[in-house]
Structure 1
């Protein structure tokens, strides 16, 4: 009987790597390979490890992820990169299975998969179906706002909020004020936009979770675009999706606030369409775990697609 597939987690001590390891550690259908601390920066040992694997999960900074890919000589090795290094690169399949009906199969067949960013996951989930349906113009002047838990900043930010100086950590921080965040190109490409959206991120004094919102004005939308038609388009797109749910009209009316921690610890995401029809104002919202559907959960979902196709 052949051995289960060997999964190499490169960067298993980072926030995403630790959570992926935790999600996989009790699995009997695969074997996990990690390097001891003394060998993590040894190029030869990393090269041996990555070339011995069936699938490599890269949980690294962008530059280190590019270096890891350059070490691959074995054509059988398949890669899921959780960094932002390859999210807009030709030849890499975008690892958001719910993005299109064809995406799960594209991921299953791929040798190079780029895991989506946390913020782009919510923005693309909301926008791509609406742009493709012709309900939101591809050149709409979009402003995307999102608030994440502090874990989105990685270990330094976690230490700031959970370490000795936690009492002095800010309760809320708005950042990216120069509007040069790395995520807009990813959002633009995979949402099917022709113009770069404005993106303004923030984080609060909670560990994990995201609420992302996009405001629209019906006077700038095509005829037939309404709160109801946008909600219906999202419901059609995600009908039957295991991890993405769209609030119906009754659920939306009963929702007075959104808790960013609602899906913490899961790979689930909830989408909602709210607004004020009398004023022509529509609000698109996504709630999910930045460490789940926005990182480790999505990576394991993509891994399972690869394993099922093996």
Structure 2
């Protein structure tokens, strides 16, 4: 683009929107805003959308669908759309915004008019599972269990207030125990699974950060694979990646906030002396590579900046 690209963040006052807005200060783009009192006025928002190169939607699912329908009703210029909700993550017309999914996926994001930003838990689970399922190391119908802990910032302004203002939140909390978390469809879809995993998310008393962990018994995997097969598969898949790194070390402890305030993700393979059990882990910032950081990565690709 010859001129500085213009971006409008629809929902810029939420946690993800604020994170994107802050990160955009370092990019050669023009961020366009509307007065805060007009943020619910669809006509004002649509007038702004018609003037920009990219609209970033940081809205609840139904509001995102409404905004997308409004943009697609425009008769003239239509901006590209990056949506941070769960509304379009498995939609066939949208490209999933996890650039490291497979070779050449970043080029698909570059060319796409519609990109769905991944969920935070999903990013860690898919980063670990997709290469292993694609290689046949983990069967598509393997009975997976995924455990995860996130910093409380992932719960939005109300949960942040309960930890930082009211100070009445628990130090640790399991949730989603109906086993129907909203990130499950994209995990199944982009990990290439045919059986839905048991996914148990949790929240800890730290602001930002996330660990996704997946335990495996080696004798239940496909084709008599061993730990070195898992290690080599993940190492090869991410060897040229800038933001997702496979780590050779096998730390005995991991802190949930060790990559807080960064846009990096680190993957580990932990095993015992007998090498008959494995725990796969992904560590990252739930607001970084799990949200706003991933959005900036996609914005760079979509606008060529």
TM over 0.5: yes
Q: Summarize the alignment of residues 1-310 of structure 1 with structure 2, pairs less than 5 Å apart.
A: 2-27=2-27, 29-72=28-71, 73=74, 74-163=76-165, 165-166=166-167, 168-248=168-248, 251-252=249-250, 255-276=251-272, 278=274, 280-308=276-304
- Cα distance, 1:75 vs. partner? 4.9
- CA offsets per residue over residues 64-95 of structure 1, 9 Å max, x none? 11111111114541000011111111100000
Given the two structures, how large is their TM-score scaled by the length of structure 2?
Answer: 0.96
C-alpha spacing 1:158/1:238, structure 2 compared with 1 (3 Å) = same
Other structure's SS at 2:59 match: coil
- Cα distance, 1:25 vs. partner? 2.1
- Cα distance, 1:224 vs. partner? 3.8
The count of aligned residue pairs is 302
In 2, Cα distance between the equivalents of 1:262 and 1:203?
Answer: 15
Other structure's SS at 1:139 match: coil
- Cα distance, 1:223 vs. partner? 2.7
Contact 2:6–2:52 under 8 Å retained in 1: yes
- CA offsets per residue over residues 258-296 of structure 1, 9 Å max, x none? 112111111100000011252621110000000000000
Gaps of 5+ in 2: none
In 2, Cα distance between the equivalents of 1:17 and 1:228?
Answer: 41
Q: Over aligned residues, Cα RMSD in angstroms?
A: 1.4
Other structure's SS at 2:23 match: helix
Contact 1:227–1:277 under 8 Å retained in 2: no
- Cα distance, 1:106 vs. partner? 0.3
In 1, Cα distance between the equivalents of 2:276 and 2:32?
Answer: 54
Other structure's SS at 1:306 match: helix
Poorly superposed stretches of 4+, deviation over 4 Å? none
In 1, Cα distance between the equivalents of 2:215 and 2:50?
Answer: 46
Given the two structures, how large is their TM-score scaled by the length of structure 1?
Answer: 0.95
